[in-house]
Each structure stands twice: as structure tokens, then as C-alpha cells.
Amino acid sequence: MPAWLEDAVFYEIYPQSFLDTNGDGIGDFQGIIQKLNYIKNLGCNALWINPCFDSPFKDGGYDVRDYQKAAPRYGTNDDLKRLFTEAHQRGIRVLLDLVPGHTSEEHSWFIESSKAKPTEYRNRFIWTDHCFKRAEGLGFIGGETEREATYIINFFKCQPALNYGFLKPKEAWQLPMDHPDCIATREAMQEVMRFWLDAGCDGFRVDMAGSLVKGDDADKSGTQSIWRTIRAMLDAEYPEAVLVSEWSFPKQAINGGFHIDFFLDFTENQGGYRSLFRNYGTNATGSSDTSFFKAGAKGNIHAFLDEYLDQYEATKDKGYISLVTGNHDTIRLAYTLNPQELALAYGFIFTMPGVPFLYYGDEIGMRYLSLPTKEGGYFRTGSRTPMQWKAGKNLGFSDAAADKLYLAVDLSPDAPTVEAQEQDPGSLLSTVKALLKLRHENPDLQSRANLEIIYPQDKSPSSGPLVYRRGNFLVAVNPDLTAKSILIPGKVSAKEVYSIGQSCINGDTCRMEGQSFGVWAL
């Protein structure tokens, strides 16, 4: 396990929306380089950069055309290497976004695989054995290539699935995992990883990490075995490199060799993550929101604890679980949470075990905008808008004309900006900086597995507070509007080290006013 993960805090950057330095309306590598000092001062010491390889951008770069070439819209390979160097000089690690389950339909591997005459890439992707053959349980495309077969897709139509084999092949066209051509696919992906690790990157966030092996791999045992092989390669050749999975089932992902897995709103945990911030929608009586961090919503923290603690206990000595403020696939938290509610949510995220991720713009409470889809974003597009640096033209993102921007900026008169919040000690940005400073200064509040839930202990509904111990620190958050008091087992001598709102500990009682957060040294 790379030691640097113990104190890591990641900042996720959607590169086309971060900072445009050449006036074309699209963010670029140079823009990231220019803001590295900002990222460092924010308190983040690691980056996850969303896909930045050559792509036709039918899915925001998650349709890779060339794994070993930087997307020209962002710069060159040399520009990306310079980003690695500049980041390292500031003590910042950099992860690239790896998409191993599929490529673009414009990738040279797929073009060769699509030919009627067999080539060495014939089985690099998954093809049936007839042009009208349906692939049971899998998405497929036919009628678009000269090859007399249909091919399997991994997500959108533009993303043909790479062939890592079937766990339990049932038809002749379904190759077993140990077929030489399936092994060749894995080895080709390892070469991609070596290429960028040798160039200076520090690891990979892996897109759809659990999607590799097909055919009755419900428990993902086949896919896990592939990732364990890859992890063994990394341990031997690049021991400081890190693998972060978009899997959202840590028991499988970490058992499969990943150092970190995200705790997201995926199939295996439909309630836990959502119950914290995103338990909103409509019902027969109108709008409803039972999110734990929404004031007055009366959310139940057990929905989170039941799922999270099960995953945490099973993986705490093997890897880390990551909680996130948001990402490029999720509606921003500011869609429903106000700045005070966001501050409490961030207090929780940044004082929990595991490696936290901060999505660009969340530190200032950037809003979710209702926008037409762009590059396959659909509803996600509104969370990918340009970073809001300062008042003025395009909020400091670009000098281009407004109609040339990748996406429109927030035109609201009160749109939050970095410049304004840096001048306000009570701003959300100042809160984020203070929380990350507290985390970095105290090892007990970092990634290590030292979580003890103090309250609630039973299964009765609880809208707050949540109280937990991290080593020599006690942390309590009360998102409810009303004050709460709880008993802490045994008398404690506590010194407040950080607070949002009003809270105190007297003897064996912790009292928290409505909408408050506190950290005490014991």
C-alpha cells in the first residue's frame, strides 16, 4: 500500500471546464498547471484528471481513440508530462482516468477488428458469429461494419467492449478468460499503464472497473482476478502507483487489488450514499427530500451506516473507501443543499476514514445548471460547467466569446467565485481550507481505519446527530434544525479544535445546536 495515500486528499478536474489559456473556449493542461498553487493552497495534494486521451468526445473522453496520445484540445503529451513535473514539484500526485472496458469505435484496434479479413485484432473486441446474432443479456450493434457479425458494447453505442473473455462461455464466439487473445487484451492495457507511469503519472482512476469479464460474472470473480494480476504488476514495477476503482462495492474492488473504491450510488448500495445528500425526488404528495444533510428533512443516518460499515469492516485492513463531494456523473450537492448544509456535509466527508475526493467547484458551492446535453453528458452536463474563478468575462474561465465556450457559465448575479470567497473568512471555500488543514495536521483524522460510531447505536430513526471517534478525536454533526444532546460513554476531557455553529461537551454530555459540526481533541 503506497504510504502517501494515508494523507491524500484528491481534487477532481474535468479538464475541458477548468481553465482555458489559449482562448478556444475549452480548458487545457496549461490551465491546470497555472492553478496548481491554488489546488495546493486549498489543501489537496493529489489530482484525478478526467479522460484526457485522444477521443472523438462522444462521451466526454470516455471513448478513447488513442490511449497513448493526449487529446489535442488539451495539449500535447509533452504538456501533460510537464503537468506531472509541475505537480510533483508542489507535492501533488496525479492520477489519469483509465477506460479499460471499451474504446471508441474510431480506435485503430476496433477498425482492424471490424474488417472482414481476419487481423491480429480480430478478437480484441467481443463479436458474435453472425450478422443477425443477438447477444443475450448484452448490448450489441450490427449493420455498421464489413465483418459479418454483431459486436458487444460496454455502455453507449460508440463504445465497443474490449474482450477479456467470459467467465462461463456458453457459445463458440464467447472466448474463455485464458484464451491467448483475451490475455493479449489485458497485456495491452498494462502497456498503456506502463506508458503513462513511465511518463510521470502516479496511477489511475479506473472507469467502470467491474465491467471487464462477461458471462455470469455476477460476483465479479473473473474481473477481480484480472485486476489482481494488474495489481501484481504494479506492485513489482511501480510500487508507489495507485489504483482507484469506479466500482462502488469495496468488498469486490479491494479484494480485486484496488487500493481505493468509491462509495457511490450504484447497484450494490442503492440507499447508503444517496441517503446522505441525494434522497430527493417526487412522490404523490409532491416534492420530498429525506437526505440526512438536508435541514428539516428528518433523514435517517442508519441507511448510510448499515451499508457503509459493512463494507468498511470487510476492507479496512486491505484498502480505502472514498467519500466524494460529487463528481462529473452526479448532480452537484448545491442543487439541494445551501452553503451551511454543504459545510456540514464537507465536515463529515473530510473527517471520515478513507481517501476523500473534492470535485472542482464544490469548494465554492458551484450550482447545478439545467443545460442541453454535451458530449454524452445528458443530465450530467449541468455538473460540468466552467470553473468560476472571478467576476467578469466568463467568470475568469476563458477569454473566448461566450458562444465559443465548452459550456455556458453560471450567469446568476450571485454566482459564487473563488476570488470573492477568498476574501471572506466565513465562506464555504474558507471552511474547506480549514477542514483540510485540520485533517493534514492530525493523523488520526486522515485515511487510517480508526472509526468508532458513538451515536446512534440502535436502529431507531435518527435524523441527527452523528457522533464518531477517530483515534483521539471526537467528531459530531447535527444537520437537524433543532438542538440535540447525547450522552458520551464515560466522562471525557475534551478540547474543541474546530466548529461550525455552536456545540460543546460538558462531562459526559455533548450538546449540539441546530445545524452544527464540532471536532474535539480528547
* pLDDT tens readout for residues 379-425: 999 999 999 999 999 999 999 999 999 999 999 999 999 999 999 99
Residue 76, pLDDT > 60, answer yes
Burial, 497: exposed, middle or buried (Cβ in 10 Å; 0-12, 13-18, 19+)?
A: middle
Give the up-direction half-sphere exposure of residue 79: CA atoms within 13 A in the CB hemisphere: 18
Q: What domains can be seen in the chain, in order of their start residue?
A: 3-100+182-443 (3.20.20.80), 102-163 (3.90.400.10), 452-521 (2.60.40.1180)
3-state secondary structure of 442: coil
Dist CA 10 CA 87 (whole Å): 13
User: How far is residue 521 CA from its own chain's centroid?
Assistant: 30
Q: Taking Cα atoms as reference points, which of 363, 367, 398 lies closest to residue 382?
A: 367
Lowest mean pLDDT among 146-160, 400-414, 449-463: 449-463
More confidently predicted of 120 and 507: 120
Q: What is the pTM of this model?
A: 0.96
Dist CA 95 CA 360 (whole Å): 15
Q: Residue 51, preceding bond cis, omega within 30 degrees?
A: no
Q: How much of the chain, in percent, has pLDDT values that exceed 70?
A: 97
